[in-house]
Structures are given as structure tokens and as C-alpha cells.
Amino acid sequence: MKKLILSLLSICLFLFPTTSLADTAVGDVMITLGNDLTEQQKHDLLKEMNAPEKAQIVTVTNEEEHQYLGKYISKAQIGTRAISSSKITIEEKGSGLEVKTNHINWVTDEMYLNALMTAGVKDASIYVTAPFDVSGTAALTGLMKAYEISTDETIPEEVKQMANKELVETAKLGDKIGPENASALMAKVKEQIAENGFPQNDQELKEMIQQAAKDLNITLSDDDINNLIVLFNDLMDLNIDWNQVGDQLSKAKDKISKFLQSEEGQNFLQQLQDFFKSLWEAIVSIFQK
């Protein structure tokens, strides 16, 4: 939950309208494991995820990872082994989606959220992990595969491709302007689309992106802007209900507001304040010596 709060403070939580997990029950758990994990690594990850005995386990291969990521990142970055694993717990309808990660060093929680919403996943708690640090790009393949199996619903191929493209493009932009800024910018543009409708042409979309960047004090290159125009046009082709985007954003903000007002949330904010106070005092003491 603490990680979720930090995500909101950087305006990184953004949601898409999705198909509900109607064929699953609240509390159901699905596990995805990379096919190239050793037996000991599998055992350790299952223990880390507190996987119940009856949890459904889905295996993801490196070939599947290349199938969905090969168009967007190099073969070297994808690698030759399927390692990333995850746990998906179905939550109450309307509760929203939450992601936490461990040993994931390139893809942020918010980037997973966005891509999963694009793919049609909601109302679930998701934990992505690996036995050592990995980029995390391949985990999305397993998450979508598990969703299809558990719900007996097929995610259209173009949606899978788009979700992976969005994940990678946002991460690449994060390399230039910072992952928090990249996620915040994506959220800002989507919020504007939800409120005002999708721009009528590329020029209007460009102006919307530029205004969002200005509001967030972010500097974008011409290439960055052009890449975002292509990305959002691709999203438009998926026939997303942008009115629902606004509803999901409101739910996410309400969820965080309630936590901040709770005793747990207040304690967390106090701890954060105490940390920065101690840090400042330490810096001052150095210059006073």
C-alpha cells in the first residue's frame, strides 16, 4: 500500500475500462512462472508469493515473450530465458487494480497497471517478481496468458500487441525523462481525453500532449512527441470507452484518499516526514563541522 501511495503522489496511477473477471471468484489466485526457472527458484518464488496449494499455475516460455515483445525491444533485451513470475488475486468488483513488484528494475508498477488495463484486466491484486533483478518486460505476457485461461476469454491479438507496445514505449520514455514523469504524462493525457474526448487530428493531439508536458514541467523532444502521437492513435484504434477511463481515474483517486485519511496512511506520512527531517539534519551537520 505504501508503494501505491507514492505512485499517486507522482500521479502515476491510470486506468482503462475493461472486461470484468466474471468467471472467477473473489480470492481466486493464479500464478505465472517462467519456464526457465530452476526447481529451487520455482519453490522459492511460490513461497515468496504465499501461493495457496490450489492456485492455478501457468507457465510462460521465452518463445511467447519474443512473440509479444519482439517488435518493440531487441532480442538481447528480451533474453533467452523466461524468468519473470507473478501472482494474481481476484478482488471485489469495482475495487480496482493494484500492482506491486520485486526485483523488477525497468518497468514500474504504474506501467504494468496501464498495460494491464489496456489488455482488459481489472479488480485484482498483482505481484510481479523474479529470483534476481530483471527488466520486467516479459511479465506482461504471463499475466495476459493467465487472465485468458482463468476467465476463458480470449484477448484479441491486436490488444496484446498494443499492451506490450505501450509498456515498452512508456519505459523507453522513462529512460529519457524519468519513469515517474513518463507515467505522470501518460496519465495526464488520458485524463484529458476522458474529460474532453479524443482529439480530432494529430495537431490537436500534439497540442494536448504539449500542454500536459507543460503542466507537469516536463521537456519533450520532437521525437518523443511524435512517438506519443503514434501510441495514442493506436490506443484510439482499440475503441476504448474514454468515459470509463475518467470513472476509473476517480475510483483510483478515491481509494488513495481514503488510505491517506486512515490511521495507517497518517502513520506512513509521518514516517516519510521524519525521514526527510533526519536526512536534512544529517546534511546540515556535515557543513557545520
The 10s digit of each residue's pLDDT in 163-175 is 899 899 999 999 9
Q: How, if at all, do strands 124-129 and 97-101 pair?
A: parallel
Please, what is the Cα angle at 27 between 5 and 106, to 5 degrees?
A: 40
Indicate whether this model's pTM tops 0.85: no
Average pLDDT value over all residues in the chain = 80
Calpha distance 67→249 (Å, rounded) = 31
State pLDDT tens for residues 180-239: 899 888 878 888 888 888 899 999 999 999 999 999 999 999 999 999 999 999 988 887
Inter-residue contact 130 to 161 (CB < 8 Å): no
Beta bridge partners of 125: 89, 98
What confidence tens digit (pLDDT) does each residue in 95-114 have? 878 889 999 999 998 888 87
Predicted pLDDT of residue 154: 83
